[in-house]
Amino acid sequence: MRTLLLNKEQVSSLICMREVIGTVEEAYRAFNSNQVVQPGYIGIHLPPPRGEIDFKLGYCNANEMISMKASSGGFVDNPESHGVPSGMGTILLFDAQSCALICVMDGSLITGLRTGASGAVSVKALARKDAGKITSIGTGNQARMQIRAIKEIMKIEMIHAWDSNADTLARYKADIESEFGIPVVMASSKKEAVEQADILVTTTRGKGPLVEADWVKPGTHIVAIGTDQQGKQELDPEIFRNAKIVNDSIDQCTEKGETWHPLNRNIISKHDIHGEIGELLLGIKPGRENEDEITIFDSTGMAIQDNTTATKIYRNAMDGKVGTFFEFF
């Protein structure tokens, strides 16, 4: 049996952000159309200075593919001590008809791309149509991915950015202005940045609230990306009290996402969650309903996003004869 191997450079050449937005929308629709089997993901936290590794598994009936992804992050000593990145990812694709392993590909880029695309999908469904100013709390790789995706579906007039690391913030400003030509204001405080937002994107590894409720103006759409374990937090739970709350997966977000915090403090109940993003895309539930409502998209990330995106890359590779085959057995 032949298995296709795709490295990071090849994966990068086989898909663009606009295509990924499409595969993520496909994933969300499939999830809310009973076409997905997706066990809860598991994570292993290792003692510092090591980080964490997560495992996500999913099956999509629509494409007859099973995917398994291992992704790590926070291994800060890796570059110097081991000569590898601080975060890595690998995706395995299995043909669901035979369960044969048909592809092994680098997954680190896919994780970044599909997470960025998820924010853009939520912006299409939940942001005000006249939104133009984005605030980024956190300015690392995923903050860049969010801008790369959101600019595909709207015109970004200006970005206000804040980061606890001044050097990281300065690099973000230089990179975004150079790559996209979008002006970036380096905010002196989180409050200053948040108050300017039409769309607020949080992409940190925060362990407590970084954004206070009274900083968020009416009509703001919040893309909450950073929290995928109970020990992480970016938003003041009070923001949820009067907001329209949309999850990628209610089961995941209420257990491990930003939504867990207001639930744990009895600020909201599960009945206060408006729905899942796939329900909005399918027209089962409405998106934004007025110009003043605060909307929150809590994204913990789902295996089905990896599945549909990796499947698109695999098919593009087969069509373009890209990659190396090896005999698995």
Give φ, ψ of 108 to 5 degrees. Answer: -65, -40
> Could you tell me if 197 and 133 are in contact, meaning their C-beta atoms sit under 8 angstroms apart?
yes
Eight-state DSSP code of residue 80: I
Among the listed residues 69, 173, 190, 256, the single catalytic one is: 69
Task: Burial-class residue 189 by CB neighbours within 10 Å (0-12, 13-18, 19+).
Answer: exposed
Cα–Cα distance list, 13 to 61, 150, 192 (Å): 27, 20, 39
The residues near 112 (Cβ < 8 Å, ≥ 6 apart) are: 141, 142, 145
Q: Tokens 């300017």 belong to which residue? A: 196
**Residue 148: what residue type?**
R
Give φ, ψ of 184 to 5 degrees. Answer: -120, 125
Whether residue 321 lies in the annotated active site: no
Structure tokens of 268?
A: 């909201």
CA-CA distance, 114 to 313, in Å (whole number)? 12
CA-CA distance, 53 to 255, in Å (whole number)? 18
CA-CA distance, 28 to 251, in Å (whole number)? 14
> Could you tell me if 185 and 264 are in contact, meaning their C-beta atoms sit under 8 angstroms apart?
no
Closest CA to 60 of 21, 32, 100, 22: 32
Give φ, ψ of 49 to 5 degrees. Answer: -85, 10
Are β-strands 324-327 and 133-137 bridged in parallel, bridged antiparallel, or unpaired?
A: unpaired
Q: What angle, 0 to 180 degrees and rounded to 10, lies between the N-to-C axes of helices 108-126 and 17-31?
A: 70
Total residues found in the chain within this entry: 329
- Name the CA dihedral angle for 198, 218, 276, 118, rounded to a multiple of 10 degrees: 10
**Which residues are the active-site residues?**
69
